[in-house]
Each structure stands twice: as C-alpha cells, then as structure tokens.
Amino acid sequence: MADTSFDVIVIGGGPGGYVAAIRAAQLKLKTAVVEREHLGGICLNWGCIPTKALLRSADIYYEMQHAAAYGLKAGGIGFDLPAIVKRSRGVARQLNQGVGFLLKKNKVTVFDGAAKLAGGGKVAVSKDGKAVATLTAKHIILATGARARSLPGLEPDGKLVWTYKEAMVPDVMPKSLLVVGSGAIGIEFASFYRTLGAEVTVVEVLPRVLPVEDEEISAFARKAFEKQGMKIHTSAMVKALKKGANSVTATIAPEGGKPFDLTVDRVISAVGITGNVEDLGLEGTKVKVDRGHVAIDEWCRTGEPGVYAIGDVAGPPWLAHKASHEGVICVERIAGVPGLHPLDITRIPGCTYCRPQVASIGLTEAKAKEKGYQVKVGRFPFIGNGKAIALGEPEGLVKTVFDAKTGELLGAHMIGAEVTELIQGYGVAKTLETTEAELMHAVFPHPTLSEMMHESVLDAYGRAIHF
C-alpha cells in the first residue's frame, strides 16, 4: 500500500503542477501528484509542444516552396499530413515520458486518478468511479488547468467543428477552414493550415486580430496574414453554424453590416478557455470561483486555508510558463523561503508562433498611456537589419516603450522571424529593472537579429544608428 500522508499534494500534473511538485521535493517536502490523464498536462500533450511541432513542419514546407529565393532547387514538393501528425504526437509522447522520469527522480509519488477535496486536508482519489486512495496533506495545490470554452450554437462536435484537439490530429486536410477567434490558439492554427494550402477565414469579435497585442503589432500582423491569403473579419460574430454531410455553413454578422453565409469544410472554435473547477469538491469550502476560475491572492492562496491554486485554473494569462512560475512561488512560500516576490504579470512574455511570429512583454503603448505614463517609443524594422536580410526575413518590427521620466522599460513588442526567442532579452531586462541606460550600453553581437532590440531602444531616444 502506497504511503498516503504528505506535506504537499498537487492536483494536476501539467506545467504548473509537475513543476510545483519538483520544487516542493527539492525543498524536502514530501510530495504527491494526482493526475487523471496525462503527465505534462494539456500544454505538453495537446497544446504548446505538439502545436509547435506542427508549425515547424509547416515552416519547413514553406521554405521548400521558396527554395529558389535562396538559389536552391527543389522539385516535387508536397506534404504527408498523417506523417506530420505522427511526428507531432511522437514529440508529445517523448516529453510526457520525460516528465514521469523527472517526478520519479525527485521522489514525487504519482497517483493515477481524479482527485477531490474531502475536507480536513484530505484528498479522495478515484479511477473509473472506483476509490483508489485517500491522501492527507497540510497543503493542497489545485493545478487542474483549463479546457476550450464553447459558445451556444458553436459547440464543437469533433467532426465538423473542432477544438484545438481535433485541429491537432486532423483526419483530413480541409480545403477551406473557418477559425472563430484570433487569439494565439486561433491564429496559430490559421497559420498552420494556410501554409499547407487551406483557404482560411478568421472571424474575431473584437476590432483587431491578436487583440491583447500592441495595436501597431496587430495591424502589422493582419497585413501579413492577408498577404498570405487569409480572409479576416474583425468586429464580427459567427451567429450560427449549419452542418451538412461534410461541410459547415456559418452565418457571419459584421458589426453594422449585413450578415452573410460562408460554407467551409471545417470550423475551429478558438474562443477562449475556462478553468477545470468541476468535480473538485469545492462545494462547502471557502474556495471562490469567479467566471470559471479559482480566485487567489498574490501567493496563490484560495479562501480555504491550506488550499492553493496555480496556472490556468487560477485565471489569465493562460500561459504554461506563468503556471510553472506560480507553482514555484507557491511552494517556496509554503516552505518559508526568504526574499520572495509575488508574480508580476508585466514581466511574463507572451508568444504566438504564427508566420510571422509575435512576442511581447509588459505594457502596450496604449495601456502605458492609459496608466498615466509619459512615454518614449522606439521602433526598428527588420529591413534595417543585416541578419534578417541574409535570412530572407526582412518583414518585421521591434517596438519598445519607456517611461519618459525614469527610463523604465514598460513594454516591448515584436513581430517577425524568431521573435519568440528574442523576447526573453527584454524579459531579463524587466526583471532586473533595467532602464534605457543599461540597454544602450549593453553590447549586442553582430550580425544577429538581437541588434534590432538595441536599435529600438536607441530609437526611443533619437539615437538609432542604422535607420
């Protein structure tokens, strides 16, 4: 019989849960993870990782199609969709096994099953309706993640109307596709299927695509997507879906315009996510659920003593790296590690792996002004960078936003090749509370894309060299 008494029990083995468990074990806390499905959670198995594998295949296919631009010859170019999907699933499987190894290495006990709070520091674990164990711990961390949200009339059916799960393992390559929602998930799938040749239409209820991004970056992205052949309708709603034998007719209503019908092979619903708060035994506790997510304080504590929540179940931003960081903060607070700081969401980078890539951190120019800052804004285009031109990637922009009074870096926003790798430079800068002075005096290697980060800072102060 496995031991059932622990210092910390983590419910959920995703990027928040397994990281929290490993950090707790490092701090000599006896730790258990309860996972009902896959170690690594949605991110590793059905989200961040396998989608990047799909997008990598699409990127290589795109480069093969444009081989002549690099003085290369390639004939008979095509793709094998089942093989692309198989590779993506293989990547996810490899990493899933890796998480299991890491938990075992750190002596974290893993229970396979669904967990439910049972009062008094108890957690009841069951599998297929049968009791597995009753665990006890002084500290219980909810890391149950989230799932795709569905809207009335637009409910996914797994065949004609897909969530991200079905979009990741398509049984057919749709000739035409409607994507409802233009956040990171929607745009990444739109980019993948468009690169492989599908006619893609995107509908967004808000006035612009990638609505959380800086307005300038959103506008640049829309122009790039439309140049690729995507059709984009902003300030518009999908009012209804009528399913045929192997197609869907959507009624699209633009704001202030006349509704029209669009018939496509498949629809992807990407209208957001909602936390997995059901069947956790929250009834009768002081845990508060607000708009589908568990309410927490700055240390991830819920209203119920000894119960914490991290990651997607605790609300936005819905990012794996945010979940992991919250997990570390949560268990370090439990363990009494000195010198801790609550999570500052303005220091969390966001990345979208479409073509072109989009990445950002901190306040947009508009948000900074809303908060009362006087700002200095710098910009540098990819066309002014030698490495970007050599790569054949001259389309893009780096934008930085500073507090005019103090020189604090308030935000950074990028679109273009490999910006999802570049953004962390500004992430480190914000964590170190760097001002424009340190960034200006930092030496950036040549020739690299990172030089644009330097030039954008210089431009905010009228000192750009190469543009």
Enumerate the active-site residues: 446
Distance between CA atoms of residues 254 and 130, nearest Å: 50
Exposure string for 27-40, b = 16+ CB within 10 A, e = fewer: bebbbbbbbbbbbb
> For residue 361, how many other CB atoms are within 10 A of its CB?
23
3-state SS, 192-203, equals HHHHCCCEEEEE
3-state SS, 331-361, equals HHHHHCCCCCCCCCHHHCCEEECCCCCEEEE
Strand order, beta sheet including 236-243: 236-243, 248-254, 260-264
Residue 445 DSSP code: P
> For residue 291, how many other CB atoms are within 10 A of its CB?
8
Distance between CA atoms of residues 273 and 294, nearest Å: 13
220 alpha-carbon distance from chain centroid: 20
- Nearest to 189, CA basis, from 371, 353, 65: 353
Positive or negative: CA dihedral 400, 403, 409, 413: negative
Distance between CA atoms of residues 61 and 245, nearest Å: 31
3-state SS assignment for residue 327? helix
3-state SS assignment for residue 101? helix
> For residue 231, how many other CB atoms are within 10 A of its CB?
13
Yes or no: say if 14 and 145 are a contact pair by the CB < 8 Å rule. yes
288 alpha-carbon distance from chain centroid: 25
Distance between CA atoms of residues 406 and 434, nearest Å: 10
Residue 56 DSSP code: H
- Nearest to 54, CA basis, from 230, 192, 228: 192
Residue 171: exposure state from Cβ atoms within 10 A (0-12, 13-18, ≥19) = exposed
